[in-house]
Amino acid sequence: MKNPELKAWCDYPEVDLPHAKDGPLSGLVLAVKDIFQVAGYPNGWGQPTRLAEAAPDTETQSVVQKMLDAGIEVKGKSQCEELCFSLTGVNQHYGAPMNGAALDRVTGGSSSGSVSLVSNGIVDVATGSDTGGSVRAPASYCGLIGLRTTHGRISLDRTMPLAKSFDCFGWFAKDAETYAKVGDVVLDDDVSSTPLRRFLGCPDLDALLLGDAEYMAYAPAAERVENTYDAEREFVPLPFDIMDAYWAFRKCQAYESWQSLGDWITTRKPDLGPGIRDRFEFGRGITHAEFEKQSGIRLAIRQKLDDMLGDDGVLVFPTVPSAAPLKSENEDTLQAFREQALQLLCLSGVSGLPQITLPLAEVYDAPMGVSLLGPRGSDKRLIKMAQDILA
């Protein structure tokens, strides 16, 4: 296995995948999260029972293929958390990948191997997926850029499904120029070219930071966004109860996850980690009537966020409540942190709006991200903002 100390690669034989020799991504090296099919590699989903039944794939996921056609070189598949139903980055079967920006802290998940490989400088780019926060949280924890794309904008063919109305393709990179190069390959142009220059802040969201140290780190980082454009944030109340958004997210995601993988879990009886098992059992117990009720709440929140942002608004807020949790934290502490983090992360998932996290803050000698939530379909404009702000 390559770089075994990182616990980030899947232990698969390396495959020599054809790629363009001259293209916009030539010279860059890619790791692919182990939920996307890549010809010649198995697709193990971070779960040994699944891996045992997974023959090498004969086709490559379409967006990964676009990147190959643009010249990127695939070096292998990266480890992920079991069935992607976690945010911590610890897989009971394969271990916890190393956070290159804070060695004593977790990477976050479920795109744990991908974010580890980029943060440790082993690859230039790595793919991730974001259902509940699995691009944004690990990017924040490891000091990287991570975009949760507008839901449905990028294809998820030949990809392990978790919760279909939440699942999104994403990727990691250390610098904005590399991030933008990938964005130009995998994203079509935004339908609108309206500049995003109306900045909003929300005290309800800022209050989800863990404490004073986090706020003192976040405040100047958020101001850097405004200062880049010589603008000021307008502070507004959130037009709904954040706990309504949180529970709509939790229940709809869990219900859909059981619909996607419940039959496989029931039939194969895999050895799932305690948190993973509990979350699937939670989804198993949600009725279709409750799912429909929460979907209605979700739709109302989506409309309120669309109205709030209009076609030029950007909501600036903390990506997660603090730096990555320490590896030494107990399970109860990690779970409490996860629940608070999801209150921040759920907005993009509930609404389907794009959100990019930028490595602008630091607390306890570790990275902490600042997020920009933009109007539907503003993905490439958010990436351009990242280039402006990080220049």
- Nearest 5°: the CA angle 196, 200, 203 is 160
Can you read off the two tokens belonging to residue 120? 């440790």
Which of 7, 78, 86, 110 is flagged as catalytic? 110
Catalytic residue, chosen from 7, 33, 75, 174, is 33
How many other β-carbons are positioned within 10 Å of the β-carbon of residue 282?
A: 16
Q: Which of 114, 119, 129, 134 is catalytic?
A: 134
C-alpha distances (whole Å) from 148 to each of 39, 108, 127 are 25, 15, 12
Residues 6+ apart with CB under 8 A from 377: 150, 153, 190, 191, 192, 354
Give the number of other CB atoms < 10 A from CB of residue 154.
18
What does the angle CA 227 – CA 228 – CA 231 come to, to the nearest 5 degrees? 50
Establish whether 110 is a catalytic residue.
yes
Residue 266: count of CB within 10 angstroms of its CB: 11
Shortest CA distance to 185 belongs to which of 348, 366, 28, 331?
28
DSSP code of residue 361: E
State yes or no: is 33 an active-site residue: yes
50: amino acid identity, one letter: R
Instruction: Mention every residue, 6+ apart, whose C-beta is less than 8 A from residue 149.
Output: 168, 169, 170, 187, 354, 379
Q: Phi then psi for 198, rounded to 5 degrees? A: -100, 100
Contact present, 83 and 109 (Cβ < 8 Å)? no
Nearest Cα neighbor of 135 from 151, 120, 121 is 151
Positions marked catalytic: 33, 110, 134
